[in-house]
Amino acid sequence: MRGLLALAYKLLVNDRAKFTALIVGLTFSVFLMVQMMSIFAGVLQRASATVVNTGAAVWVMDPAVTTVANTIPMPDYVLDAVRSMNGVKYAVPFYSGGAVVKLASGVYQAVTVIGLDDTSLLGRPPLAAGHIEDIYGDDAVIVVRDVEFSKLNEPALGTTFQINDRRAVVVGLAQVPISSLFGIPTLYTTYSRALEYIPSPRFTLSYILVQPKSAEGISDIKAGVGRLGYRALTADEFVHQITQFYVYQTGLGTNILIMTVISFIVGLSISGQTFYTFILENLERFGALKAIGAKGRDLVYIILFQAFLTSMTGYGLGVGLCAVLIAAAKLRLPDYASTITLLNLALAFVMVLIIAAVSSIVGVRKIVRVQPFDIFRG
């Protein structure tokens, strides 16, 4: 078998033009598939940034909420009702809204203002500079130091600016695991001060963050919140809901799917056509192998090995090229939303295996019919 595989390898690389065409076609196909899926994964990850960064176990919201950015205020009595439910260890208010910051340079910049519970500060980010206690100071805010940090002219501790014509002082710089999706800087302050910064409607409560006494009590909390006419979701369920929204209720999921399918078809057509041409040009060699005693299954092994080798080579080069280009893009564009996940790699691997299988079938159907007599007669 080792000698058979060595022969298959020599037959494959002997024609460098065909071999190169196979590798380039598969590499380009894998690159496009992984790139499209990585962009989608990056967008979904950042769309759930607030949920992940906050770390709350259960979120209570209006039933019409589809994403964490789509806040629908709730009346304050909902907070009191949730706190009184069995199984709730504690529940705190959470505010998320948009505002406009006027920098010292006179430039205006849109920001997301997150208001944390004044008492517990549940959901506070870890600080890279400053002390969390300073958030209780007059006009104090904490700025998230992420890829959008430069849009606020990279403020240092003590920097002042205006939020909707109200003074704000930077008392801390925070680090968060995931940056926001839409390229908007994020500020943290207390819940009461956030309401002062941003003109609010009659209701001001964006979400209620709940810490259950135990995991078993979450179902009771959901039922109780449902009886109030609102909805409670765990963090994972909320992230899943956000993902479903972007996949099925926006054009993003459809567009990414179409581009991925096109990439798959491109790789399949290139590899299938090139591999079929390769088989036609080597029919005499396969016929000669049959004449000297090679069995049909030996020729099938050769074709399968060649298809598998080219597919895996193209897969590795395509993934590597995608990783290099994503890393290079993030160096120049820090807010570039693209990330390679294990799911992306697994899906691309399955697609490459399908391409290899189809290419093998094209070759196998041709060589199993070849007869030594036809080759030597020609």
Dump pLDDT digits (tens) for 230-239: 999 999 999 9
Q: What is the pLDDT of residue 284?
A: 72
pLDDT in tens, 120-156: 999 999 999 999 999 999 899 999 998 888 889 999 9
pTM beyond cutoff 0.85:
no
Q: Tally Cβ neighbours within 10 Å of residue 54.
A: 21
Nearest to 136 by CA among 123, 125, 120, 113: 120
Q: Are 242 and 253 in contact (CB under 8 A)?
A: no
| Measured CA distances, 210 to 49, 53, 98, 122, 214 (Å) | 18, 15, 23, 10, 11
Taking residues 184-197, what's their average pLDDT? 91
Q: Are 88 and 80 in contact (CB under 8 A)?
A: no
Residues 6+ apart with CB under 8 A from 283: 366, 367, 370, 375
Q: Treating both helix axes as pointing N-terminal to C-terminal, what angle do 296-332 and 283-291 enclose, rounded to 10 degrees?
A: 140
> Helices marked H in 48-165 — which ranges?
49-54, 77-83
Q: What is the pLDDT of residue 28?
A: 85
User: Which band of pLDDT confidence, cut at 50, 70 and 90, is reported for residue 360?
Assistant: confident
Nearest to 295 by CA among 12, 4, 6, 11: 4
* Plot region of 154 (φ>0 → left; ψ -120 to 50 → alpha; else → beta): left
Q: Tally Cβ neighbours within 10 Å of residue 4.
A: 15
Q: Are 207 and 51 in contact (CB under 8 A)?
A: no
Taking residues 66-88, what's their average pLDDT? 90
Q: Which tokens sit at 181?
A: 């999706």
Report whether pLDDT(376) > 70.
Answer: no
Ranking 89-98, 140-149, 255-264, 291-300 by mean pLDDT, the lowest is 291-300
Residues 6+ apart with CB under 8 A from 88: 82, 210, 211, 212, 213, 217, 221
Report whether pLDDT(170) > 60.
Answer: yes
